[in-house]
Chains A and B, each alone.
Chain A
């Protein structure tokens, strides 16, 4: 060791670089500033607008509380509250019951083919709700294929009415059920097998274990799923718009949409006030969730994960239940997507004409030859790649500051990253639109896809953060401390140690953002302009104009894109998007 000892004196002078107490402070500040500015863009103009009597770009706009007063006095708006409440109740009940049941069946029982079933049952997650809406009209609408077949078979024309609050809510529930499933299946599977074993040893049967051990342990997941369901029901726009608007059923969201588009002069103040109220409602729900889940350590599985989770035997109900699940898939997923696909390859779509007599590729030719459609496809693809890349970088930065730094405001940064979860998508779009009017110089972005880019960064900040942040928690902080102790600064530690270790999570985040951007419509409807079309918003606009054929073709394309991406992500990158 003489060699080591000899060069030691020289080393003392060659110590790690100049001292600074705030290693990485500048970088951390920049990340915090960017994320705060983005959220500010989405919220501040909308907030100001809510208290103005004229659009905020009018110089003579004055302060008023009239917008909020009108919310509670206008009989039309008050009626909407009731409808929205009923709608939410049905959507949430449907989604919770169906989602939890399916999660337990697929996650914990010996249901035949449960792996494959799970994949299919989760499909709606990756599909834009408006496509589910289109499918619902084509299959179960008054002139829908299945409505007609069933009607003929039982001799009752139009045995149900899709265009009712209940009908709209059930279709929305079908779109929401996979979310419940996703939250619950993780909880169902992650339970310590020893809980089961312990209950078995003391003499509990499978049913009792499920009722007394498994379901109670899933409570945090159930509460979380419940809140997320209420939030997504409150912010649902596409399905209520497609199904409800033609017959005059209005929810809060569709009313905001109408107020900002349909009437001659958009009443931006009222729209903003409605939007703020919607957000306040969502925020209260999240607060409630925090309260309910305080002390959730009671539900954390303690101890080792040794041993296999034994599946609960369904016994003689195994095949009947399997049949039930398959029927649900046929009715709720296959029929909807099948009808959209059929519509895409037929000239006319009517129960009176066999679809196979009118097969055509004309719809695809249309979307590949008309400028607006082509642009919306290329714009979507550009935004998906660029947006997902930039979004992942932003999310990684935010997560590192919030989780892996001594930055004084890191708690606030964490809060900011969670905030977009409570901002309904179209409000993000509205906010960015307001900001583009309000912020000097921002108008150059108008009518370009870059305004959408900003909206997407805001909109999906929480979604990506939800993947990256827990993954960071899995990486021991000892790695950072070790790097620090050998002389690495914050930026170096993040770049060389933590980021490389979170590569799988960052890849998952990137893929998820691509999928979300491809299917996104809610934040895009206010920002779409000639030249800046995207698939989601184009489909919605064209459907409302009655161009169902090209819309169906676009929908098929969108689903195909998403499917290719999901499969590629799984096969090539080994990315897990759920579970």
Chain B
């Protein structure tokens, strides 16, 4: 097991810059998630870590080994990195049984006989697939294939585990269960894990730390709480937790307070920020509906524009100041207008270019 250090990593495809000078590290035993929309560079980063793709510049170290150094031309191929990589498609070799899939990786390491058998049994037990050792991948369900794929990457005890959207091929219900299972398994094995996903729920639930990526750059690095509660920019605020974004004009008031003026003239009290054009971000579940006994600021009457019933909650689209906001609440409201409050502490202010 080992730590990972990535420094100034760039990847250019012709004139397209897929990765632009990113640096981060992963501590020994840590669960780190690369989160972002498609095309943000998260998979490129993973491929660079795995050694399947050669970056343009930068360095990659795992433990005390230098696996890539653009300046000195060092590039260790995937074959020799001793990492575990789990594919979105699982990539279980269909002509080999479950046990043979695992055994092939041991054979390459000259681990044969009783030792190989013990490791295979142990790992398959770990993922609860010991009863399926002699099945072919085609005979397994998606969830079972996912477990075998993980077992295949664990059986040879790689230094680092790399997971490329491992849950995206499962249906919603199975995905929730697999997510919990995967988190527990990582804690038990303690293997350093780099996880790639575009699903913020997975990232928040599993990770020790999250790296949010956007257009080949790192937008924010932080714990799930930091990422969710204090997104560093509009992109993160919007991508993680889908904040409502409101255009406004910020004015600093005497006494260190700040107000934001919406296009229709409505004034909201907000946390201080740079004066001038700003984007306000507030999460749908932070908007308070009705009278809650809170402070008198930032109360408006909003038009209910649309409603959709999500089962556990209701989602309303409301209009204030000519802008549409999403509100999530347990309450069921039939009126066409409702009083709402935008709590000052829940509004994040970002300068608008």
Contact = CB atoms under 8 A, between A and B. Distances in A.
A352 interface: no
A482 B87 contact: yes
A21 B78 CA distance: 10
User: Which one of B52, B122, B157 has the highest number of Cβ atoms from chain A below 10 Å of its Cβ?
Assistant: B157
Interface stretch (A166-174, A445-453, A494-502, A514-522): A494-502
Interface in A450-504: 476, 478-479, 481-489, 492, 496-497, 500-501
A476 to B, nearest CB: 6
A484 B91 contact: no
Contacts of B1: 8
A116 interface: no
A407 to B, nearest CB: 14
A479 B109 contact: no
Nearest to A22: B77
A1 B105 CA distance: 19
Nearest to A7: B157
A487 B157 contact: no
Contact of B157 (A4, A23, A496): A4
A487 B122 contact: no
A502 to B, nearest CB: 10
B120 to A, nearest CB: 12
Contact of A485 (B76, B84, B110): B84
A483 B52 CA distance: 11
Given A11-B156, A16-B109, A487 B79 contact: yes
Those 8 A-B pairs whose CB atoms lie nearest each other, nearest first:
A478-B91, A482-B91, A485-B85, A486-B105, A487-B108, A484-B78, A19-B80, A500-B95
A476 B82 contact: no
Q: Choose among B92, B122, B156 the residue with the greatest number of A CB atoms under 10 Å from its CB.
A: B156
Contacts of B152: 482, 486
A4 B189 contact: yes
B87 A481 contact: yes
Interface string B215-232: 000000000000000000
Interface of A: 1, 3-5, 7-8, 11-12, 14-16, 19, 21, 23, 476, 478-479, 481-489, 492, 496-497, 500-501
Given A4-B157, A481-B85, A497-B93, 4 more contacts: A4-B119, A4-B189, A485-B153, A486-B108
Interface in B71-124: 75-85, 87, 89, 91-95, 104-105, 108-111, 118-119, 122-123
A102 to B, nearest CB: 37
A384 to B, nearest CB: 28
Most buried by A among B83, B94, B153: B94
A475 to B, nearest CB: 9
Contacts of B159: 12
16 contacts: A4-B119, A4-B122, A5-B190, A11-B82, A11-B156, A11-B157, A14-B109, A19-B77, A478-B87, A481-B91, A482-B92, A482-B152, A483-B104, A485-B51, A488-B104, A501-B95
Contact of B80 (A12, A479, A481, A487): A487
Given A3-B122, A14-B110, A479-B91, A485 B78 contact: yes
B52 A484 contact: yes
Nearest to A475: B94
Contact of A21 (B77, B85, B89, B122): B77
A21 B73 CA distance: 12
Contacts of B85: 481-482, 485
Secondary structure at chain B's binding surface: helix, strand, loop or mixed? loop
B189 A1 contact: yes
B178 interface: no
A16 B79 contact: yes
A14 B83 CA distance: 14
A492 B10 CA distance: 31
A14 B158 CA distance: 12
Contacts of A14: 109-111
Nearest to A497: B93
A23 B52 CA distance: 13
B77 A476 contact: no
A480 to B, nearest CB: 9
A284 B84 CA distance: 49
Contact of B109 (A15, A21, A484, A485): A15
Contacts of B52: 481, 484-485
B91 A487 contact: no
B78 A481 contact: yes
B173 interface: no
A367 B346 CA distance: 96
B188 interface: yes
B157 A482 contact: no
A266 to B, nearest CB: 53
B182 interface: no
A486 B80 CA distance: 8
Contacts of B110: 14
B171 to A, nearest CB: 17
Nearest to A478: B91
A332 B94 CA distance: 45
B22 interface: no
Contacts of A478: 87, 89, 91
Contacts of B267: none
A23 B91 contact: no
Contacts of A492: 108
